[in-house]
Amino acid sequence: MGKFNNKISAEFHPPKKWILERALSYQNDDIDTKALEGVGIKCPSNRITCKKGFKTDLASTPKILWNIIAPWDIARAAIIHDLLYLRIRQYRRKVSKSLGQENTEIIDKAKKASDSVFLMAMKDSSPSIPSWKIYLAYHAVVAFGRWSIIPREGD
């Protein structure tokens, strides 16, 4: 069982960005730290920390689905997940510039570990998130997250 250090404290910057006003971390002994370290993500004491000033869009849920699952329903888990995907994108950019090719096995393992952290964090959220929302969000990132780990400007 894992835990968050705090509630979210963030300022909204239209149209879709939030900037953390204090650090947010998630700790769970079941985090696959080895897979995450493969892309340079450090998890001391099985803790993932988004520092003050981290920019996020919460959950990338299309607005048409907000009546079913809104970004704030799963916000803390989504922020941690955003950081993990950002680090994967940064790793991919760095590797492609220096080596010219990527080790897809390392990237696939890191994505799988990141998605697993997202699932665990949603399950550990308080107030609790209904199971159907947890699994809907989890399966969405498993299926569609591969586009979110492609390096882009601003990473």
Q: What is the pLDDT of residues 51-80, one digit of tens each?
A: 999 999 999 888 888 899 988 999 999 999
Phi first, then psi: give them for residue 50, nearest 5 degrees.
-95, 120
Please state, in angstroms and rounded to a whole number, the distance separating the CA atoms of residues 111 and 141.
Answer: 10
Strand order in the sheet with 17-20: 10-13, 17-20, 55-56
Mean predicted confidence (pLDDT) in 115-121? 98
Distance (Å) of CA 33 to CA 73, 113, 147: 26, 8, 23
Query: For residue 123, what pLDDT band results from cuts at 50, 70 and 90?
Result: very high
User: What pLDDT is recorded for position 101?
Assistant: 78
How high does pLDDT run on average in the chain? 94
* Cβ pair 90, 151 in contact under 8 A: yes
Q: Which residue stretches of 13-129 are H helix?
A: 33-37, 75-98, 104-123
